[in-house]
Structure 1
Amino acid sequence: MDTHPLFIIIDDVHPILITELEKSGITCHYHPQITRNELLTIIHQYTGLVVRSKTPIDRELIDAASNLKIIGRYGAGMENIDTDYAESKGIVCLNAPEGNRNAVAEHTIGLLFALLNKICIANHQIKNGIWDRNNNWGQEITGKTIGIIGYGNTGSTFAKKLQGFDVTLLAYDKYKSGFGNEFVRETDMETIFAEADILSLHIPLTTETNNLVNRNFIEQFQKPFILLNTSRGQIVNTSDLVAAI
């Protein structure tokens, strides 16, 4: 009988994950196309579950997983896992919040420059034979004040990569303090509302942050601002955002 821990992986993952797990003595069953109903019938066989975001790991599934000891989130966001209920059943829940911090930070900088320089709009117009130079002047990032909400792995990495751009960096994190340095000023939301030209969100989706950026939030800014959201989409109330543009 195989006494190795038995993990099921139900989403696409890089092969190195399976290789490293098996090096550690874990037997892996790789089923990235499995349906929820299929998973419910076999999950009781497994001590470990590796997921991304396709399948909600809710009470029904956790109750069916009678031998489960660990849930591993291949990524950062944990909103599709009922972590409180899982942990009440003695199941350890893990994620990898540091795994994509550089990619997200660099992507955010790319979005910022695309917006400042109207790259996407101008590219679309050029493809359609439109040359509108005067309405597509860009803005320099130099001298801008950038507000960062959430100073965890991605927020702090984003700030670090901006250090050479001659900008003022303001950061607010409700659950962290003492992180300010010569490049980043730790501050409160009132200061960000008053001073930010650009706002970048780096926070998880929770009941607290769902629809955080709504009409009331937007109206507190003292000047027009660029919004960058590389967190979950539900953090921004899209209707309120469109109405404010």
Structure 2
Amino acid sequence: MKVLAADGISPKGIELLKKEFEVDVKDKISAEELLEIIPEYDALMVRSASKVTAEVIERAKNLKIIGRAGVGVDNIDIPAATAKGIIVINSPGGNTIAATEHTMAMMLAMSRNIPIANETMQKGEWNRKQYVGVELRGKTLGVIGMGRIGAGVAKRAMAFDMDVIAYDPYINEERAKSLGVTIGTFEDVITKSDFITVHMPLTPDTKGMIGMEQMKKMKKGVRLVNCARGGIIVEEDLAEAVKQGIVAGAAIDVYTSEPVGPDHPLVGVPGIVLTPHLGASTVEAQIGVSLDVSEGILAALKGEPVATAVNMAPVSPQVMKVISPYLTLAERLGGTVVSLADGPVEKVEVVYNGEITEVNTGLLTTAVVKGMLNPIMENEVNYVNAPGLAKERGIKVTEVKEKEVEDFTNLITVKAQVAGKELSVEGTLFGSEGRIVRINKFRVDVDPHARILVCPHINRPGVIGTIGSLLGNNGINISAMQVGKTEVEGTSLMVLTIDNDIPAAVMEVIKGMDGISDARLVNFYTI
């Protein structure tokens, strides 16, 4: 078998592959040359330069796997690869240590004024008294997001004798205890911490989650770190907060738009340390992603399971024919459950009813878990790593098959235990289109293709109209509406299909409306 390594892959990974296969190395390859030579290769390794388009995949007669030496796979047409049965893998964990250590480096550089002290020293100045710093020892570090990087930062901070308080709505007490951290609310973290570091994915819920309103609630002398995703901290507000002394300092590696120009609000603000997205930029990380992808290619070409596949694991054509129409629906059922949850999911039971029980539904159960974890994980969740990530977070996943079903040919029910309460969402196919047909006890008929606003409410005149007017006045279009009822008199569930994101301020207004019990936005674009 033959492997093509493009885009300057680290030699360490190439050496590993050469022990088993013939490897051609082309550090710089044009799109035209790639199209011309791809038919002869069984595996392709790229970084970000080469574009693995649908045309490239169509011409790849022998290709079995595409490996991306890094996290992002935007340069690979994954649907085209999946349709042709080609596995696509990446290296989601190869830069975990690099990002963790960079966070610590930024925290230390900021607290001891190292960048500005070095800059002035290079000019021949000696400003020892001007750059007195603060110690980490004895301080409280607030970690927002306890994925692998957040957990790694917490571990290292404790080695500095820091107390760690963490906010992650999807981590349970058992997991927190094993990590040695105290779990708190978001409000706890921003009001009690001396240092705050964010490690969340950028989603509609986390975008702008730390702005001036939150900064004004923080302790005097607080310092902020963001090595996760640009946009979680409002950049203009951070610059102003540091200038006003509301925030003592900040260390930022990621930005809303990159690269950053001289007119960026954070540039030139004393007390703010900036680096050009260096979180994954270490020699070891580049070697790590190369080795990760090479090991994945070795496994795939030997017919073994691949742990970092971003598309689905191999399934027999017979089973795939039955379950493939349900994959997206299963993901969105999982995403709906986690969006409605009030805390960490402790247990998930996926119940299958109908003819679908006659085949292996394991991949569908994985799709449910993938849909649950995608909105809350910092790193990408795929069909292979989802079960392990769920186990890491203490989520027990079970599968039940019951042949009998009423009203539908097939039905998938996702039941989740959250703080001792059960949430449930049911879905089926109408033709080839997925539908959510029940949310808890409420019968609905919802197309989960965009965003839905879920509002339990008192069944009385004016409630629905008031929300409709509020959304309309804020430029938010409603494309469909469902009202589900139960046997409990006077209670209903309003489900609105929304074309736009709903700002947090508007969501708070909805939650406070007379007659509304709660309001949750489920964004299927993040699932």
Shift of 1:29: 1.7
Structure 1 Cα separation of the partners of residues 200 and 33 of structure 2: 33
SS where residue 109 of structure 1 aligns? helix
Contact 2:46 2:68 in 1 (8 A): yes
1:184 is matched with 181
SS where residue 141 of structure 2 aligns? strand
Given candidates 16, 21, 24, the residue that maps to 2:17 is 21
> 82-91 or 178-187, which moves further after superposition?
82-91
Structure 1 Cα separation of the partners of residues 234 and 39 of structure 2: 39
Structure 1 Cα separation of the partners of residues 222 and 229 of structure 2: 20
Q: What amino acid does structure 2 have at the position aligned with 1:183?
A: G
1:124 is matched with 119
Given candidates 182, 194, 210, the residue that maps to 1:217 is 210
1:163 is matched with 158
1:106 is matched with 101
> CA offsets, 1:22-49, max 9 Å, x none?
32x3332211212344324433433322
Against the structure 1 CA distance between its residues 20 and 88, is the aligned structure 2 distance closer, same or farther, given a 3 Å change threshold?
same
1:226 aligns with 2:219: no
SS where residue 121 of structure 1 aligns? helix
Q: What amino acid does structure 2 have at the position aligned with 1:27?
A: E
More strand by share: 2
Contact 2:103 2:227 in 1 (8 A): yes
Given candidates 132, 146, 159, the residue that maps to 1:151 is 146
Against the structure 1 CA distance between its residues 38 and 167, is the aligned structure 2 distance closer, same or farther, given a 3 Å change threshold?
same
Against the structure 1 CA distance between its residues 185 and 123, is the aligned structure 2 distance closer, same or farther, given a 3 Å change threshold?
same
1:10 is matched with 6
1:70 is matched with 65
Give 5+ residue unaligned stretches, structure 2: 243-527
Superposition TM-score, scaled by structure 1 size = 0.76
Contact 1:98 1:154 in 2 (8 A): no
Shift of 1:202: 3.6
Structure 2 Cα separation of the partners of residues 138 and 77 of structure 1: 37
2:265 is matched with none
Structure 2 Cα separation of the partners of residues 114 and 169 of structure 1: 19
Superposition TM-score, scaled by structure 2 size = 0.39
Shift of 1:64: 5.0
Against the structure 1 CA distance between its residues 52 and 152, is the aligned structure 2 distance closer, same or farther, given a 3 Å change threshold?
farther
SS where residue 163 of structure 1 aligns? helix
> 188-197 or 159-168, which moves further after superposition?
188-197
1:97 aligns with 2:97: no
1:32 aligns with 2:27: yes
Structure 2 Cα separation of the partners of residues 176 and 93 of structure 1: 29
> 124-133 or 87-96, which moves further after superposition?
87-96
Shift of 1:121: 0.4
Against the structure 1 CA distance between its residues 148 and 20, is the aligned structure 2 distance closer, same or farther, given a 3 Å change threshold?
same
SS where residue 18 of structure 1 aligns? helix
> CA offsets, 1:65-88, max 9 Å, x none?
454322222234445545455435
1:51 is matched with 46
Contact 1:11 1:32 in 2 (8 A): yes
Structure 1 Cα separation of the partners of residues 33 and 231 of structure 2: 29
Larger Rg: 2
Structure 1 Cα separation of the partners of residues 185 and 74 of structure 2: 26
Q: What amino acid does structure 2 have at the position aligned with 1:198?
A: F
Q: What amino acid does structure 1 have at the position aligned with 2:17?
A: L
Shift of 1:97: 3.0
Give 5+ residue unaligned stretches, structure 1: none
Shift of 1:118: 0.2
SS where residue 33 of structure 2 aligns? helix
Against the structure 1 CA distance between its residues 28 and 192, is the aligned structure 2 distance closer, same or farther, given a 3 Å change threshold?
farther
Shift of 1:141: 0.8
Structure 1 Cα separation of the partners of residues 34 and 84 of structure 2: 19
Identity, % of aligned positions? 35
2:389 is matched with none
> 61-70 or 124-133, which moves further after superposition?
61-70
Shift of 1:143: 2.6
SS where residue 37 of structure 2 aligns? helix
Shift of 1:120: 0.8
